[in-house]
Amino acid sequence: MKFSIFIILIFSLLAKAQKGFLLENAEKTVIKFELINNLIFIPVTINGVELNFLLDSGIAETMLFSLENKEVDFKNTEKITFRGLGETVSVDALKSIHNTVKIGKNFTDNSHTVFIVLDEDFNISQDIGVPVNGILGYYFFKNHPIEINYVKKTISIYKDSSKFPKKIKRYSEFPMTIELNKPYMLADVEMKHEKQSSKLLLDLGNTDSVWLFPTLIKDFIYNRPNIDDFLGRGFSGDIYGKRSRINSLSIGKFKLNKPIASMPDEYSIQHLRIVENRKGSIGAEVLRRFSIVFNYPENKIYFRANKHVNDPFLIDGSGLEIKQDGLVWEKEEVRIETSKRNSAGNEINVLDNSSQKFQYKFSLKPVFKVSGIRKNSPAEKSGIMKGDEMIKINNKKANSLTLSKIHHILKTDDSKKISLEIMRNQSIKKMELILEDPIPYIEE
């Protein structure tokens, strides 16, 4: 699923004069990140307030759309309008200039422009399952080589390429172009039997493997089988299109077999400003299989395969689209531990099973609801409906899981049985789903 999609400013000339983040008083700094659904989240401090941001190479500007009850002092604001990928064409926002933004100890921009989205309905936290305040793009990458290690979950920022460690020699180097403040490279797309060199956006903010734009590819024919599907959300609306598997995606010597290609329909890209010869995007489901160095100053990118390079490309086999719909207080009964001493005089903890020795513990738990159902999917055939609340999955309480874990359970490359309990109109229903890959690759 894509959460931050191809956002274009109608006017914002001052933003293009930004210097971007600079590494101060150090040759290298390392930032830890959280990886959820292939997406990278980092702590970002704006005007002294720490927030949680998605790192997205597929976006030019810095967006803020939620403060989660925090207060940030934004000055020098003016109202502007965005347009982007989706069903509608405009989103109102405020543009705030000259903000101090810090990441880690040494990575700072003292005159950063932030765009504050005013549409309260656009909040990707419900799709991620953790609070997300905004999205950080081009200006993070602009001035220094940036190394992303998906296995260690670290981002290393180097003063310049001379500070690379010797291990860079084990990486494969490729040319990269920066156009409209976004990175592009050539990769070979093989639909069935013929490879085509294709210009693709390197998009950290896209959870999918590959996006292809059929209307921009000569003589494009959809691979079969394919499905109509919800592909994700942009600032301007929901994105729909098709999904199918292609034979391979090759980045130099690295060949990735049977990746899933998402292909937005022509209505979703009609307002998109597309750079010359672009055919689509490489998403994070591919990028997470490598350690990567983005070197914007020298127009280069480096790849080194990690232990995930040969992971199968899995797809949701249920047809369920699930979101987190807030938090509720849940009461849990907790037995009280009492202390006793053993024969050696050492204190030990034991559970007191008497009916009088218990207490209640209240904790906030997530609520997960069905936000959409794929047509002709196992979920639709079982009778699950939009708005149903997930109570149990495989006999585990749904609220004991994360949204990312639920997505993982529902992905499959083979048939497997999933037991579910859902609540509809205060009534609990039990059902079973047989997960199935709706788009198996078929040789022709």
Q: Which position has the higher pLDDT, 239 or 306?
A: 306
CB 400 within 8 Å of CB 409: no
The whole-number average pLDDT for the span 107-111 is: 94
33-37, 238-242, 246-250: segment of lowest average pLDDT? 238-242
User: Contact, 161 vs 298, CB < 8 A?
Assistant: yes
Identify each DSSP E strand in 285-384 by its residue range.
Answer: 290-295, 300-305, 315-316, 320-335, 337-341, 347-351, 358-373
| Banded pLDDT at 2 (limits 50, 70, 90) | very low
Find tokens 């010869």 and name the residue: 277
What was the pLDDT predicted at 217? 87
Q: d(Cα 233, Cα 196) in Å, to the nearest integer?
A: 28
Q: What is the mean pLDDT of residues 193-211?
A: 93
Of all residues in the chain, what percent carry a pLDDT higher than 70?
Answer: 83
pLDDT in tens, 335-384: 665 555 556 656 555 555 555 566 666 667 888 999 889 988 999 999 99
Judge whether residue 153 has pLDDT over 90: yes
Please name which of 365, 426, 434, 359 lies closest in space to residue 397, comparing C-alpha atoms.
365
Q: In this predicted model, which residue has the larger pLDDT, 93 or 391?
A: 391
Q: Would you state the pLDDT for residue 86?
A: 47
Residue 406 backbone dihedrals phi, psi, to 5 degrees: -60, -45
Those residues with Cβ within 8 angstroms of residue 167's Cβ, 6 or more apart along the chain or in another chain? none
Contact 44, 103 (CB under 8 A): yes
Q: Which helix (H) or strand (E) holds 243?
A: strand 237-245
